[in-house]
Amino acid sequence: MVSDRSVIESPGATNTGPQTEAVWERREAQELIKPPTPPLKPGSLNGGNEEVNKHMVGEGWVIGFVAEAVEIRRVYSPGLTINNIKQVINETIETNILRKPAPTRLRDLIRQIRACRTAAEERAVVNTECAYIRSTFRETDCIWKCRNMAKLLYIHMLGYPAHFGQVECLKLAASPKYTDKRIGYLGAMLLLDERADVHVLLTNCLKNDLNSSTQFIVGTALCTLAAIASPEMARDLCNDVERLIVSTNAFLRKKAILCAFRFVRRVPELMEDYLPKCEVFLADKNHGILIATITLITEMCEQSGPVLRYFKSIIPTLVRMLKSLTVTGYSPEHLVSGVSDPFLQVKILRLLRVLGRGDPAQSEIMNDVLAQVATSTETSKNAGNAILYETVLTIMNVESENSLRVLAVNILGRFLLNNDKNIRFIGLLTLVKTVHKDMTAVQRHRITILECLSDADPSIQRCAMELSFTLINTQNIEMVVRELLRYLESTDAEMKALCSSKIVLAAETYSPSIHWHLDVLLKILTIAGNHIRDDVISSTIQLISNSPVHEQRFITGKMWQAITNMNQLENRQPLVQVAVWTIGEYAESGGFDEFELIEHYRQLLWAPQLSITTKQYILVSLAKISVRIDGCTPEIQNIINSFRVHLNIDLQQRANEFSQLFGDHKHLRTSLLEKMPKLKLSELTASEYNADFAAEESSDTEQQQQLQQPDVPAPSVEPSNQDILLDLLGDCFSSDGNGNNALAIVPVPQATQSQPYYPTTSFNQNGPTTNNNGPGATGSGDILNLLGLSAQTNALTIYQPPTATPAIPSMDVYQKDDIHIRFFIHPIGAPFEQPTMSPSPARITVQTTNGSHNTIEKFLFQAAVPKSFALTLREPSGSVMPPGGTIMQDLLIVRNNTGAPSTGSGLRMKVRFSYEVENYSMVEQIDVNDFPSDFLR
């Protein structure tokens, strides 16, 4: 202290008494505020800024600060020197005055963005803030990095690009400060994924933090690794995670187990390291560790069949654990809304569902505890409803007793009466998925399901509509269709198209009478308007053509009333098309006033709102009326002649051709415009209509019945391009772009020839369609004459399939997140087309099904095989899967060096597929190693 004082004391001064001590303190304060002599050095008291110096002296805050520092030195820290005080003051000035002002806080940015009234204002605020954040990232000594990164993450959550912050995340994660490290790892989890190459740079930082002595740093690193670990990162860090799994710290052990869950999902071969440890962890008392362990076991069981069989032995342990949670007393540590640890109960139920699927013996062990959970769980809170929902799914997916299935359906029925819309939606969605398990039990809740059609929530309406169509049978069709027509009046345009088509299919399948059927079709045309699909128009015309004469007279009068007494016909053009077709065919039975009829047709033809297609219908109908009703031919001829100069070439051509029938060729008019022959009806059955929920056994039965035909000698020439896959599945209907089942039209065979014919199926983008090469179809000779191949007609032999189709083996490759991928392995040499590879390749048909209620877009399937095989991927049937839709794709595989002895291993395949759902991109990769042992060996 003497050396410090000697700097400012006068010669000859003495150091005696408390007054002298006070003088030294005053002089020290004066020295601190004394303006330094130029030149000033960076880091000095005021940095050479006179304005700042005046501000500091004028405000007097430096004197107060120094006086307080001196007081602290005198009372609390006698070792504090003047140099230390100067350093503190310099750092304070540099931080608060000489540098840039502090950036906007995150809460202030959120307020600014929420205050924006338009999207343009929001973009302006975000762009301004992003520009500032970029500028601070370029600075090396910015002290606001954490704040800026937090704001950037919020901007990223709003959907704006934030990729420029990826490298800054790595820098913060490598910082020794926990506050920086925490925000850096959070940014890495949000801004990085395994497709970004920069995430590999994080591996070394994660490895260092996993070996840290601070549990919070280790826990943060484990959370990040569990969120963004790639296969390469998992292999590099699996040893560190395995070491932490056996840690005595429960906090770290739980996070390490969840990290292992991510590793197993990305690299399935790593699961062997965790199998023995999981059984030990099931005996732990910590619920967090139990939840993490059961999550890991569930993932491993879904990934591998042998692992699933390995863990079947833990079912009694899980049952005891679930029973103890159900009957346990008050436990405030794990109680949620009056339910004992619902999170653990849900995890146990999910694992039981996986372990008991298709195993009656193991399912029998679960029956008692499932019944106990279903009857004793509190239903007034969401926690209890979540447990009941998982219980229902478990009951429906394991081999449970019939009484339990009825109990599960009744629980879902109670869900439909809940005031919470989310619970009602869950109940309907679960019934849609499980209705085929017990149709009788679901029928008891038909009234409640139909009431959901009038719900204000469109999601609930759609689920109720799909479920209602599933419940239709011959006894309740009139009541259900009446409610569906009421729903059709209030729904939106998209749902009108879907609902109207399904009502038409249901009416064709279960119609009690033709009169009722025609009346329903007329109501559909009136209510749905322009939103119905073309199949409704064709189905209606088809039915009218095959109706009795009195029904044709009835519907003709109804159609005439519909187009004369209704306004805004431009919004109901399908109705106009069917009406004018009916009047043109059966006008003689309608009792019309011919002048009123012709005048109304004239108005329709010259209405600018009607489409060209509708006017084509009207023009043809008008020509036919000329031979149905006498006395109106001159008026019809004048109207048709006026269209001979129409701007539309199609209408102009039709008018010119019809005008010839009124002139030089009028003797042909009656024969050319006679009634159309009856159209052949579609063969629709209840099993086809409800094929979405029908068991596979029913399809196999129908296929066997279809193949029960007289024996015919073997064909001399086998046709090419025959895809028998869909015949095997009994899939007689296809799924169009909007997700509804469009049933294939199968003409009724005529008994004119004794030789039988068989329908064959081919696959196109819209699904399987049925082609009938038989007596009722167009003769093949006409087509060959058009192609100049008539000389070969006699050489063709009609293909006669055998009486029994051999079963094509299939294997389930992936079934998760409502995505189901199945491989159909065709025998080598099966006819599909001329092979492009030599030797003959094996064919695998990949069937991908969308089991969700969202449309999947940009679906891309990729596969890779070892170098000992050659793989060719054929063009898929599409890239978009509507709800319930399917995409098919063929894989051609051949083994290389077939001349050498087949001593190599069997076929192994890596499958990678990606898709987008609701603007989120998903990528999954799996290994397929369970091919038949004799396949390609």
* 613-661 confidence digits (pLDDT tens): 899 999 998 888 888 887 788 888 888 888 888 888 888 899 898 888 8
**Residue 290: pLDDT above 90?**
yes
The encoded tokens of residue 305 equal 């069949």
Specify the pLDDT at position 110.
Answer: 92
Closest among 872, 825, 817, 871 to 847, alpha carbons compared? 825
**Residue 220: pLDDT above 90?**
yes
- Give the integer Cα–Cα distance in Å for 419 and 410: 17
pTM: 0.58
Cβ contact 173:191 at 8 Å = no
**Residue 279: pLDDT above 90?**
no
Residue type, 13: A
Beta strands in 777-829 (DSSP E): 810-816, 819-825
CATH 1.25.10 residue spans of the chain: 503-677
Specify the pLDDT at position 869.
Answer: 85
Residues 6+ apart with CB under 8 A from 9: 24, 27
First-to-last alpha carbon distance for the chain, in angstroms, is 92
**Residue 147: pLDDT above 70?**
yes
Query: What are the backbone angles phi and psi of residue 769, rounded to the nearest 5°?
Result: -125, 150
Specify the pLDDT at position 904.
Answer: 56
Mean pLDDT confidence for 558-581: 85
**Residue 351: pLDDT above 90?**
yes
Mean pLDDT confidence for 129-156: 85
- Give the integer Cα–Cα distance in Å for 153 and 269: 35
Between the CA of residue 578 and those of 387, 522, 543, 885, what are the distances in Å? 52, 9, 11, 30
Cis peptide before 608 (omega within 30 of 0): no
Residue 391 or 631, more confident: 391
Specify the pLDDT at position 329.
Answer: 58
Stretch among 14-23, 93-102, 763-772, 822-831 having the lowest mean pLDDT: 763-772
**Residue 283: pLDDT above 80?**
yes
- Give the integer Cα–Cα distance in Å for 894 and 841: 5
Residue 52 or 935, more confident: 935
What's the mean pLDDT when you consider all of the chain?
A: 75
- Give the integer Cα–Cα distance in Å for 437 and 740: 22
Residue type, 795: A
The encoded tokens of residue 470 equal 């599933």
The encoded tokens of residue 190 equal 């949000």
Q: Going by DSSP bridges, is the β-strand pair 733-735/339-340 parallel, antiparallel, or unpaired? A: unpaired
Within a 13 Å sphere around the CA of 255, how many CA atoms are in the beta-carbon half?
20
CA-based R_g, the chain, Å: 40
810-826+838-897+906-928 homologous superfamily: Gamma-adaptin ear (GAE) domain (2.60.40.1230)
Helix (H, G, I), strand (E, B) or coil at 916: strand
Specify the pLDDT at position 330.
Answer: 55
Please give the DSSP secondary-structure letter assigned to residue 675: P
Stretch among 271-280, 367-376, 518-527 having the lowest mean pLDDT: 271-280
Cβ contact 904:892 at 8 Å = no
Q: Kindly report, residue by residue over 474-526, the tens digit of the pLDDT.
A: 888 999 999 999 998 888 887 888 888 889 888 888 989 999 999 999 999 98
CATH 2.60.40.1230 residue spans of the chain: 810-826+838-897+906-928
Strand partners, 820: 815, 849
Mean pLDDT confidence for 531-535: 81
- Give the integer Cα–Cα distance in Å for 745 and 680: 9
Stretch among 399-403, 794-798, 928-932 having the lowest mean pLDDT: 794-798
Number of Cβ atoms within 10 Å of the Cβ of 434: 21
Mean pLDDT confidence for 565-573: 80
In this structure, which topology does domain 503-677 adopt according to CATH?
Answer: Leucine-rich Repeat Variant (1.25.10)
